[in-house]
C-alpha cells in the first residue's frame, strides 16, 4: 500500500489496505507500506504520521516500511530521488524518454486548441526530436524541463488483470507522460514502477480508476526489461443508490472520522471486507483471521463501483457492541475517549458501578457515544420536565400522589432487589388501582428525566435506594 501524504486517509484506502494485508497474510508474504510523497505541491506536513497512526488504529500492521525498515528501503520516495534520476536517464539513453522544455504557457495553448477541436488533450511530441546539441545547451543553461515517456504510436498495449482479465488499450490513447518533473521529483508513474520492481512487489491492488494509467506502467516495464507484477484492480466505493464517490454531505469519508464517531475498528473492517469481495455464503460477521482464511482474488467483484451502505454499517457496529464482553467494551470506550479527548461523563464512580450501567445500555447502543447519551442520569442528577412528568396521568395531583405512594412503600423496603421491588410495586398498583403505564412511567421520568430507559427495576437497583427516594421526593416537590 502506498499512501500519499496529501491529507487525511480515506476510508476506501483502509479497504485497500485490508485486502493487501489479508492477501499477504494468507500467502505467507509480506505487506509493504511505502510513502509516496513526490507531489510536493499537495504535500501536507505530518500527514504521513497521521496516516500510519490511523492504519494502526484500525488494528492493521505492516512488515516493511516506515517505522519498521526492511531490506528494500528507504520506504519514503522523497529519499529515493537519485534512483529515479538514474533510471530516467537510462530511458533517455535508450530513446524511450526525452527532455521536454515546453513552457506552461505553450502547453496550456496546446490543450485549449485540442479542446476546441474536440480532441483529448495530449502532448504533441514537439521536443522529441530536438538536436542533441540544443538539448545539452539548454541543460547546461539550467532551462526548466521535464522528462517525458516516449509512447509508441498506434500500439496495442495488453495486460492481464486478476479481476478483469485481459485489458487492451491503444497507445494513441496514452499521453507522453511526464516521468521526472521540473523540480527533480518523479511522477507517480515513474516512481511506482521503479519502486515496485526494486522492492520485488509481486501483487499490486489498487482502485480501478488506475486502469487507464496501467499501460504507461506496462511500457516502462517493457523498456526496462523487467517482469510485470500481478495487477489487481478493485471496484471503487460509492454512496448507496448513487453513482458518485462518497460524499461528506451524507456522512464521514475519512477513516479517522468514522472512529471518532464511535464505530469500532473491527466492525468497520468487517463492513469493508464486503465492499468488493464476497465469500459466496450468507455469513456476514467475520473476524480478521476468518477473513484471511477465506479471502481470495477470484471472489473479488467484477464491477466498477460498490455501494457504501451507511445504515448497514451502523447495524453491524451495533452487533459488535452488543456482542462484546462488557469489560472489553468499557476498555474500548476508555481508549476511544482518550484518543479523541471525549468526556465519558462518569465522574468518580467505580468501574464496578460503570460496568453495571454499561450492561444495561449495551444492547441499545449503535455507536460508542450512545453510552454517554443514554446514561447521564446514572452519573448526575437528571433535569425533570414537568410536562413529561405528568404526561402519563390525569394531572399534577395524581402524579404527585403516585410519587408519594412509592416513596412511602419503597422507604420500608430492606431488600433493594429487582424481585422485591417488582413485588411491592405491583402491590401498590393493585391497592390503589393504578395502571402500570401511569405508575411506572411517572416513576421512570422522576428518576431518569426520560421516557425511555432500560428496565425500570434494574435501573432502580443500580441507582440505589437513597438516590431513588431522593429523586422521587424532588419530583414530588416540583409538583407542589
Please give the positions annotated as active site.
248
Nearest to 292 by CA among 56, 2, 63, 28: 28
Torsion sign across C-alpha atoms 188, 193, 196, 202: positive
- What is d(CA 190, CA 87) in angstroms, rounded to the nearest whole number? 9
- What is d(CA 174, CA 213) in angstroms, rounded to the nearest whole number? 8
**Residues 70, 64: contact at Cβ < 8 Å?**
yes
Cell numbers 390525569: residue: 394
Is the link from the previous residue into 409 a cis peptide, with omega within 30 of 0?
no
**What element of type H or E holds 157?**
strand 156-161
Burial of 112 (0-12, 13-18, 19+ CB in 10 A): exposed
Backbone angles phi, psi at 18, to 5 degrees: -60, -45
Cell numbers 526494486: residue: 198
**Residues 339, 264: contact at Cβ < 8 Å?**
no
In Å, how far are 28, 30, 35, 118 from 24, measured between CA atoms?
6, 5, 19, 45
Amino acid at each position: 500500500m502506498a499512501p500519499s501524504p496529501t491529507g487525511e486517509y480515506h476510508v476506501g484506502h483502509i479497504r485497500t489496505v485490508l485486502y493487501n494485508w489479508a492477501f499477504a497474510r494468507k500467502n505467507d508474504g509480506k505487506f509493504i507500506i511505502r510513502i509516496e510523497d513526490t507531489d510536493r505541491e499537495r504535500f501536507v506536513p505530518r500527514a504521513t504520521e497521521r496516516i500510519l497512526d490511523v492504519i494502526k488504529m484500525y488494528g492493521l500492521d505492516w512488515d516493511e516500511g516506515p517505522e519498521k525498515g526492511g531490506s528494500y528501503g528507504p520506504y519514503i520516495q522523497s529519499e529515493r530521488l537519485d534512483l529515479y534520476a538514474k533510471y530516467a536517464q537510462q530511458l533517455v539513453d535508450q530513446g524511450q524518454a526525452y527532455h521536454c522544455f515546453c513552457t506552461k504557457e505553450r502547453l496550456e495553448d496546446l490543450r485549449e486548441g485540442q479542446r476546441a477541436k474536440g480532441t483529448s488533450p495530449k502532448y504533441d511530441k514537439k521536443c522529441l526530436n530536438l538536436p542533441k546539441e540544443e538539448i545539452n545547451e539548454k541543460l547546461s543553461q539550467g532551462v526548466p524541463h521535464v522528462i517525458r515517456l516516449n509512447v509508441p504510436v498506434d500500439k496495442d498495449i495488453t495486460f492481464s488483470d486478476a479481476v478483469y482479465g485481459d485489458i487492451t488499450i491503444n497507445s494513441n490513447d496514452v499521453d507522453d507522460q511526464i516521468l521526472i518533473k521540473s523540480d527533480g521529483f518523479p511522477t507517480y508513474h515513474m516512481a511506482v514502477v521503479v519502486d515496485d520492481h526494486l522492492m520485488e512487489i509481486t501483487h499490486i491492488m489498487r482502485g480501478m480508476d488506475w486502469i487507464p494509467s496501467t499501460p504507461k506502467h506496462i511500457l516502462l516495464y517493457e523498456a526496462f526489461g523487467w517482469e510485470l507484477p500481478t495487477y489487481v484492480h478493485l471496484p471503487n466505493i460509492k454512496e448507496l443508490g448513487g453513482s458518485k464517490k462518497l460524499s461528506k454531505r451524507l456522512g464521514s469519508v475519512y477513516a479517522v472520522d468514522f472512529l471518532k464517531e464511535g464505530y469500532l475498528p473491527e466492525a468497520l473492517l468487517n463492513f469493508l471486507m464486503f465492499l468488493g469481495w464476497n465469500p459466496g455464503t450468507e455469513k456476514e460477521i467475520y473476524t480478521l483471521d476468518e477473513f484471511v482464511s477465506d479471502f481470495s482474488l477470484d471472489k473479488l467483484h467484477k464491477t466498477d463501483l460498490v455501494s457504501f451502505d451507511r445504515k448497514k454499517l451502523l447495524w453491524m457496529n451495533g452487533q459488535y457492541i452488543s456482542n462484546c464482553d462488557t469489560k472489553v467494551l468499557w476498555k474500548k470506550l476508555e481508549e476511544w475517549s482518550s484518543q479523541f479527548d471525549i468526556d465519558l461523563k462518569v465522574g468518580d464512580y467505580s468501574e464496578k458501578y460503570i460496568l453495571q450501567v454499561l450492561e444495561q445500555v449495551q444492547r441499545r447502543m449503535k455507536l460508542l457515544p450512545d453510552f454517554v447519551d443514554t446514561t447521564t442520569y446514572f452519573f448526575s442528577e437528571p433535569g425533570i420536565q414537568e410536562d413529561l412528568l405528568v404526561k402519563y396521568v390525569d394531572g399534577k395531583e395524581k402524579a404527585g400522589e403516585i410519587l408519594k405512594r412509592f416513596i412511602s412503600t419503597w422507604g420500608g423496603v430492606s431488600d433493594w432487589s429487582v424481585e422485591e421491588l417488582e413485588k411491592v410495586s405491583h402491590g401498590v398498583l393493585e391497592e390503589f388501582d393504578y395502571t402500570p403505564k401511569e405508575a411506572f412511567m411517572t416513576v421512570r421520568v422522576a428518576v431518569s428525566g426520560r421516557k425511555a430507559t432500560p428496565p425500570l427495576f434494574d435501573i432502580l437497583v443500580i441507582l440505589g435506594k437513597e438516590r431513588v427516594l431522593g429523586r422521587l421526593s424532588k419530583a414530588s416537590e416540583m409538583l407542589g
